Amino acid sequence: MFYSVYELPTHIFAILMIAFFVGFYWIGALLLRPILRQFVKHTKGANDVVGYVLSCFCVFYGLLLGLIAVSAYQNASETGTNVTREAAALSALYEDVSRYPDPYGQNLQWLLRDYTRYVIKYAWPLQRQGITPVEGTIRAQAFQEKLLDFTPQTRVEEILHAEALRQFNSFLEYRRMRLFSVSTCIPSVMWYVVILGAVINIAMVWLFDMKFLTHMALGGLLSAYLGTMIFLIAAMDNPFRGEVSVSSQPFEALYKHMVEE
């Protein structure tokens, strides 16, 4: 059910996340705050005590959110880099096999065009659903078998064939890294800690003694930013899901070049 939020437009996802946290804070301030205040209302300087504890808690919780946000961004960035490198290796491989004598050159080029089209039209939609595509492996194996069937006849062809094999190995490496990234996400246990920390943070703000409208305004602002931070982490968590995801643009540009050539 959680993954269904990635089907929403990014701005709607953000608004819903902020509305959820602000609504949770306001409802809790109306219903739960009077109960929680019973634990501290007889404590002298209760606001100061709660403020000290909240400050210490926010240091640890803020550090946790920051580290998770950086980790999510790095995962998305590395996945995007690997996709670009895979497309670059595929482009170099396409240029190498284009210099093979016919019919090998034409057949190898056709297989690479077919693979690129498959990635754009079929593999990417599956990745956006969190499904690792498998048919690309069949196409890569078919290309490998055809490439290994070629026997160089001259020294130039030997050098060209060796370079094509090197590029093919690089392509396979980046391809595997892309497939591994389909299921890359923040572990569930970390999400539990993040949500628990958010609830504790909001509950501690409920303990402050201040005017009702001031309480609702300041707590609402804090909850809104807390929701924004968690939205940011969630939006970047799965590199291929949602609008904030790695696109197939490098492959689309490569396929356009292949077709127009």
DSSP notation for 179-245: HHHTT----HHHHHHHHHHHHHHHHHHHT----HHHHHHHHHHHHHHHHHHHHHHHHHHSTTSSSSS
- Is residue 223 over pLDDT 90? yes
Please give the average per-residue pLDDT across 85-110, as a whole number.
92
Please give the average per-residue pLDDT across 92-104, as a whole number.
90
- Is residue 102 over pLDDT 90? no
Sketch the domain layout of the chain as residue ranges: 2-260
Upper half-sphere CA count for residue 180 (Cβ side, 13 Å): 10
Over residues 4-21, the pLDDT tens digits come to 888 889 999 999 999 999
- The tokens describing 234, both together, are 């969630």
Model-level pTM? 0.84
Q: Are 156 and 124 in contact (CB under 8 A)?
A: no
**pLDDT at position 37, please?**
82
Q: How far apart are CA 198 and CA 218, in angstroms?
A: 16
**pLDDT at position 191, please?**
92
Site of tokens 């909001």: 202
Q: Which residue has the higher pLDDT, 198 or 153?
A: 198
Going by pLDDT thresholds of 50, 70 and 90, the confidence category of residue 34 is confident
Going by pLDDT thresholds of 50, 70 and 90, the confidence category of residue 82 is very high
Going by pLDDT thresholds of 50, 70 and 90, the confidence category of residue 86 is very high
Q: How far apart are CA 110 and CA 105, in angstroms?
A: 9
Over residues 173-214, the pLDDT tens digits come to 999 999 999 988 888 899 999 999 999 999 999 999 888 899
